[in-house]
C-alpha cells in the first residue's frame, strides 16, 4: 500500500483553512455589544411550596414547608421571649439562658451533647433576640429520630450546670472588656442608649453588664426557662424532606408531652415597656478614643415597627439611600470621595419601633467632610427620585429576594418572621410584586415622613483632638463630649472570675 503524503498534506491544509474560517465567522458573529450594559430580564417570580400548619396534642403549633430534593431537615423552635422580658438588674439573662441550653441536658454534659450532635452530622444553635429566642437543629433526614431526641432534651430538659455558667460568664465579661478598645462597639452602645434610654430594652446591650452578669445564677436561668419556654408560648418551624403526616408523628413523640408546669401557668404574659420618644432635635455626642485611625459615625432616630403599612416603600427608599452597594451614601462616601470603605443606612424592623441608622467608619482627617456629606444625602433623599434610580432599586430588591430561600435554614428563618408577626399565608409569593408596585410618590412620602435630618442623634467615636474643631465648625447642633467609661462603665475584671 502506497501512502501519498503530498495529498494528505493538501487535505490537512484545506481542513485547517476551513476550520479557521468557521472559527473566525463564529467569533465575529458572536461579538457582544459592549456599548451599553446588557438589559435585565424581568425579576423572577417566587413560588414556594405550600405552607402547612397543624398542632400537636398539647396545642404546640407547627408550621411546615416540604422541600424534598435534598434529604435534610431544619427544625426551629421559636420562643416568644427575649431580652425585652428581662427584669431590672437581669440584663443578659435571656442570652445566658439560650447559650446554656446545650451545656448540659438530659443525662449528657456539654461535651457529650456536642459529640452526639457531631456524630449525627447535625448542627445545633440557640440564641436570644429582643422579643424571641430561637433554638434550631439541622439534621440529615436519616438521623431525624435521634436528632429530635437530642433536640427535645436541649429544649425541655437543660441542666444549667454551675461550672458551665462560670465559663460563659467569663467569656461575656471578656467581651465587655474588649468593647473598650472597639470603636464600633462603643458607637453601637452609645447610639442605642441615646435613642431609647437605659430603661428600655432596646437601649441596653442584650449581652448584659458586669453587675448583672456577676449576679445571675443558675436558679435565675432555670426560672426564666420555666417561665417562658412553654408550649403555649412557642411555635415549631419545620422545613425539609419530610411530609406533614410523618413530621407530625415524630414531633408528637418528641414534644407532645411538653406542658407548662402549674407554677408557671400564665407567667408568659404581655410585658409593658417604657414609652419610646422620638429624637426632638439634632445633637452630637463625641466619644473620645485617643489615637483612633478612624471615626465611627452613627446618625439616626426612632424608626417604625415591622407591621407598618409603609414597609415596602421604606424598603425601596432605603435601598436608594444606603441599602445597597450602589446606594447614594456608599457611592458618595466610598466611590466619589474615598472617605470610607463603605457607608450604609438601615431600618431595624421590630415589634416596637426600631431605629433608623446611617453610618460608616471614616478616616479621621475627613470626619467633618464625611459628616457633611451624610447630612447632604439625608436632605437629598427628600426630593423626588429619578425614574431610572427608582427602577434600579426596585429591581435590586426583587432580583435578590429569591436568593433568601436557597436552603432549608434560610426558609425556616423567613418562616420565623411570618410566625412572629402573623404575616399572611401568601406573603412570600406576593413580596416581589409589592416591591415593584412602589411609586416615586411613595418613596418621597416615606422619606419626608421618616427621614428628618434636623432631628437626629449623631454619635462620633474617634480621636477628639483631631476631629472636634472641624465638627464644631459645621454648626450642626450642640456637642456633648464623653469618655469611653461614661459609655461602657469601667472595664470589667476578668481574672479570678468564678
In CATH, what number is assigned to the domain containing residue 185?
Answer: 3.30.830.10
107 grid coordinates: 443525662
Q: Is residue 496 part of a domain?
A: no
Q: Which three cell numbers stand for residue 437?
A: 408596585
User: Are both 173 and 309 inside the same structural domain?
Assistant: no
Pair 124, 117: CB distance under 8 Å: yes
The answer on 402 and 334 residing in a single domain is: yes
DSSP 447: H
pLDDT score recorded for residue 99: 97
For residue 286, the Cα-to-chain-centroid distance in whole angstroms is 27
Last residue of a domain, one of 238, 256, 274: 256
pLDDT at 15: 45
251/257 Cα distance (integer angstroms): 10
Same-domain check for residues 314 and 228: no
What is the layout of strands, in order, in the sheet containing 61-66?
51-55, 61-66, 234-240, 72-79, 133-140, 123-128
CA-to-CA distance for 122 and 154, rounded, in angstroms? 14
Residues 252 and 297 in one domain: no
Domain that holds residue 308: 283-488
> Can you say whether the dihedral through the CA atoms of 474, 476, 479, 484 is positive or negative?
negative
Burial 28-37, CB ≥16 within 10 A → b, else e:
eeeeeeeeee
Question: Both 244 and 346 in a single domain?
Answer: no
Q: Is 252 found in the same domain as 302?
A: no
310: which 3 cell numbers? 409603609
Dump the DSSP string for 411-428: HHHHHHHHHHHT--TTHH
Q: Using alpha carbons only, what angle is made at residue 418 by residues 422 and 357, rounded to the nearest 5 degrees?
A: 100
Q: What is the pLDDT along the chain (498 residues), one digit of tens a residue?
A: 444 545 545 545 444 444 554 445 454 456 777 777 777 666 667 888 999 999 999 999 999 999 988 899 999 999 999 999 998 889 999 999 999 999 999 999 999 999 999 999 999 999 999 999 999 999 999 999 999 999 999 999 999 999 999 999 999 999 999 999 999 999 999 999 999 999 999 999 999 999 999 999 999 999 999 999 999 999 999 999 999 999 999 999 999 999 887 555 444 556 788 999 999 999 999 999 999 999 999 999 999 999 999 999 999 999 999 999 999 999 999 999 999 999 999 999 999 999 999 999 999 999 999 999 999 999 999 999 999 999 999 999 999 999 999 999 999 999 999 999 999 999 999 999 999 999 999 999 999 999 999 999 999 999 999 999 999 999 999 999 999 999 999 999 987 666
Phi and psi at 157, nearest 5°, equal: -130, 45
* Contact assessment for residue 439 and residue 391, using Cβ atoms and an 8 Å cutoff: no
- For residue 29, tell me if it sits in a domain: no
Alpha-carbon separation of residue 270 from 85, 131, 232, 321, 377 (angstroms) = 9, 11, 13, 36, 40
Q: Report CA Rg, the chain.
A: 28
H or E element at residue 296: strand 294-302
Per the listing, cell 434600579 goes with 392
Number of domains making up the chain: 2
pLDDT value, residue 429 = 94
Largest CA distance in the chain: 104
* Judgement on whether residues 248 and 292 belong to the same structural domain of the protein: no
Per-residue confidence (pLDDT) for residue 6, from 0 to 100: 52
- Is residue 417 domain-resident? yes
- Write down the pLDDT at residue 1: 47
pLDDT given at position 260: 80
Strand boundaries in 153-214, DSSP class E: none
SS3 of 330, please?
helix
Residues 180 and 318 in one domain: no
- 238 and 305, same domain (yes or no): no
Q: Do the beta carbons of residue 134 and residue 104 sit within 8 Å? A: no
Quick check: is 43 in a domain? no
Q: Provide the CB-side half-sphere exposure for 256 (13 A, CA).
A: 10
Predicted TM-score of the model (pTM): 0.89
pLDDT of residue 179: 98
Structure confidence at residue 255 (pLDDT):
97
8 A C-beta contact, residue 74 and residue 90: no
Q: Are 226 and 263 in contact (CB under 8 A)?
A: yes
Residues 342 and 198 in one domain: no
For helices 387-400 and 440-450, the axis angle rounded to 10 degrees is 90
Q: Please report how many Cα atoms fall inside a 13 Å half-sphere around the Cα of residue 261, on the Cβ side.
A: 11
Helix (H) / strand (E) containing 389: helix 387-400
Distances (CA, A) of 179 to 141, 184, 185: 41, 8, 6
Q: 150 and 97 in one domain?
A: yes
Q: Is residue 407 part of a domain?
A: yes
Which pLDDT value is given to residue 411? 97
* Final residue before a domain boundary, out of 240, 256, 272: 256
Instruction: Give a yes or no: residue 23 inside a domain.
Output: no
Question: Residue 91: CA atoms inside 13 Å, Cβ hemisphere, count?
Answer: 18
Residue among 270, 220, 230 nearest 93 (CA): 220
Separation of alpha carbons 231 and 245, rounded Å? 20
232 and 308, same domain (yes or no): no
Instruction: Please state, in angstroms and rounded to a whole number, the distance separating the CA atoms of residues 224 and 95.
Output: 11
Cβ(296)–Cβ(184) below 8 Å: yes
The DSSP string of 55-71 is: E-TT--EEEEEE--SS-
Is 27 a domain residue?
A: no
Residue 108 lies in a domain: yes
Q: Which cell is 123 given?
A: 448542627
Phi and psi dihedrals of 452, rounded to 5? -125, 95
Residue 30 has a pLDDT of 62
Amino acid at each position: 500500500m502506497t501512502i501519498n503524503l503530498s495529498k494528505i498534506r493538501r487535505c490537512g491544509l484545506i481542513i485547517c483553512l476551513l476550520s479557521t474560517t468557521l472559527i473566525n465567522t463564529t467569533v465575529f458573529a458572536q461579538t457582544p455589544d459592549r456599548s451599553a450594559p446588557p438589559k435585565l430580564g424581568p425579576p423572577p417570580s417566587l413560588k414556594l411550596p405550600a405552607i402547612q400548619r397543624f398542632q400537636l396534642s398539647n396545642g404546640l403549633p407547627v408550621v411546615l414547608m416540604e422541600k424534598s430534593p435534598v434529604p435534610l431537615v431544619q427544625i426551629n423552635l421559636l420562643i416568644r421571649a427575649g431580652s425585652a422580658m428581662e427584669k431590672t438588674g437581669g440584663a443578659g439573662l435571656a442570652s445566658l439562658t439560650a447559650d446554656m441550653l446545650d451545656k448540659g441536658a438530659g443525662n449528657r454534659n456539654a461535651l457529650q451533647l456536642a459529640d452526639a450532635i457531631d456524630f449525627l452530622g447535625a448542627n445545633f444553635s440557640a440564641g436570644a433576640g429582643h422579643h424571641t429566642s430561637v433554638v434550631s437543629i439541622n439534621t440529615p433526614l436519616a438521623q431525624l429520630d435521634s436528632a429530635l431526641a437530642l433536640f427535645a432534651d436541649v429544649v425541655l430538659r437543660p441542666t444549667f450546670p454551675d461550672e458551665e455558667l462560670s465559663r460563659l460568664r467569663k467569656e461575656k465579661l471578656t467581651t465587655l472588656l474588649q468593647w473598650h478598645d472597639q470603636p464600633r462597639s462603643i458607637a453601637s452602645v452609645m447610639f442605642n442608649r441615646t435613642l431609647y434610654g437605659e430603661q428600655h430594652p432596646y437601649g441596653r446591650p442584650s449581652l448584659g453588664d458586669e453587675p448583672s452578669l456577676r449576679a445571675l445564677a443558675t436558679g435565675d436561668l432555670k426560672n426564666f426557662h420555666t417561665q417562658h419556654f412553654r408550649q403555649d408560648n412557642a411555635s415549631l418551624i419545620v422545613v425539609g424532606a419530610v411530609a406533614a403526616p410523618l413530621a407530625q408523628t415524630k414531633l408528637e413523640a418528641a414534644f407532645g408531652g411538653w406542658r407548662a408546669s402549674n407554677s408557671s401557668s400564665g407567667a408568659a404574659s404581655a410585658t409593658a415597656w417604657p414609652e419610646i420618644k422620638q429624637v426632638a432635635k439634632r445633637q452630637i455626642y463625641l466619644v473620645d478614643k485617643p489615637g483612633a485611625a478612624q471615626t465611627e459615625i452613627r446618625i439616626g432616630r426612632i424608626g417604625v415597627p415591622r407591621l407598618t403599612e409603609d414597609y415596602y416603600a421604606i424598603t425601596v427608599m432605603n435601598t436608594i439611600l444606603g441599602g445597597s452597594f450602589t446606594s447614594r451614601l456608599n457611592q458618595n462616601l466610598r466611590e466619589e470621595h474615598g472617605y470610607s470603605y463603605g457607608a450604609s443606612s438601615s431600618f431595624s424592623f421590630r415589634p416596637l419601633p426600631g431605629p433608623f441608622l446611617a453610618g460608616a467608619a471614616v478616616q479621621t482627617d475627613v470626619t467633618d467632610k464625611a459628616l457633611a456629606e451624610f447630612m447632604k444625602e439625608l436632605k437629598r433623599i427628600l426630593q423626588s427620585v429619578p425614574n431610572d434610580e427608582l427602577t434600579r432599586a426596585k429591581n435590586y430588591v426583587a432580583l435578590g429576594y429569591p436568593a433568601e430561600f436557597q436552603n432549608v435554614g434560610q426558609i425556616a428563618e423567613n418562616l420565623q418572621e411570618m410566625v412572629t408577626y402573623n404575616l399572611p399565608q401568601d406573603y412570600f409569593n406576593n413580596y416581589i410584586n409589592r416591591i415593584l408596585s412602589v411609586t416615586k410618590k411613595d418613596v418621597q412620602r416615606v422619606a419626608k415622613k421618616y427621614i428628618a435630618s434636623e432631628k437626629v442623634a449623631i454619635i462620633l467615636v474617634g480621636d477628639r483632638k483631631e476631629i472636634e474643631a472641624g465638627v464644631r465648625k459645621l454648626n450642626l447642633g450642640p456637642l456633648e463630649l464623653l469618655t469611653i467609661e461614661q459609655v461602657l462603665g469601667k472595664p470589667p475584671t476578668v481574672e479570678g472570675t468564678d
